[in-house]
Amino acid sequence: MRWGRQLLHGISDSAALDAELLLAHALNINRQALLLGMRDFIAPEIFAAFIERRMQDEPIAYIIGRQAFWDFEVRVTPDTLIPRADSEVLVEIAQQIFAHHAPKNIIDLGTGSGILAIAAKRLFPGSDVQAMDQSVAAVEIAAQNAADICGQGSIDFHILNWRDGGWMSALRPPYDLILCNPPYVELDAKLDKMVVDYEPASALFSGADGMDDYKILMAAVKFLLADNGICLFEIGHEQGDKIKKLADFHGLKCDVKPDYARRDRVAIVQKS
């Protein structure tokens, strides 16, 4: 493992952790087991291939095929965005808002690997949870994650694109809780190489100002949201004011909450 750590030094800010995760994956054990019995393990040949992939800036999550989120772990592929801790703020806010009364009807718009829908089902097991994504491959991954974590058929998945006319006709509103982490990155934004080269562009970029998808979705919220319902959007840290103005244009109320780094991250949208 020292060899792998040395090769990754200067390439990754977490070279030691990367090497540990890749070796554990090569040995088909978890990292804790690796660290407890490190002297007893010999690195298999595939470990070198994993290190080579990481040296090409491929994200660890895609190499090992899994990523932790909230209190569970999901499968991920290059067809799905890699879950990030920022998105956990949506789950925390939903948990706080519905601490005393569970939402009956929930939807996750743009589900990707299914993390928000799965988190919602774990928080509110008696609720009807639906999720949609335009990517067939992403929905297949999300459905498998949901089956593994929450049980087969626990979440109802739809293959839909909100850029297509009539997409809402396949849904079952009104929703007490809408969760959405849409594409919100500006087309000319400077992102890390491992994001640009490996993660799906369709899940990242949304026009020149990063607002194209919000403009579609905010208009849809008026029709999808229950009268006392809540919509939680993940937003870029400089998009708070734009989101508030967009919500106001559609006659909706909007409050913006920060992430763990105290940057704008979640827009809480309600009917006026």
CATH assignment of the domain containing 185: 3.40.50.150
- 40 and 103 share one domain: no
Tokens, residue 103: 């939402």
Share of the chain above pLDDT 70, in %: 97
- 51 and 107 share one domain: no
- 35 and 130 share one domain: no
**Distance between CA 210 and CA 192 in Å, rounded?**
17
Which whole number is the average pLDDT over 201-230? 96
- 113 and 234 share one domain: yes
Tokens, residue 23: 């070796």
* Number of domains, the chain: 2
Check residue 1 and give its pLDDT.
55
Indicate the helix (H) or strand (E) that contains 198.
Answer: helix 193-198
pLDDT digits (tens, 9 = 90+) for 11-50: 788 888 988 899 999 988 888 888 887 667 788 899 999 9
Asked if 22 and 50 touch (Cβ cutoff 8 Å), the reply is yes
Residue 73, domain member (yes or no): no
C-alpha torsion 61→67→69→73, nearest 10: 180
Which whole number is the average pLDDT over 77-89? 96
224: confidence class by pLDDT, cuts 50, 70, 90: very high
Residue 210, domain member (yes or no): yes
pTM: 0.93
Check residue 9 and give its pLDDT.
79
Provide the residue range defining the domain that includes 21: 2-56
- 97 and 143 share one domain: yes
Mean pLDDT, the chain, whole residue set: 94
Check residue 30 and give its pLDDT.
83
Residue 109, domain member (yes or no): yes
Q: Is the dihedral of CA 168, 172, 176, 178 positive or negative?
A: negative
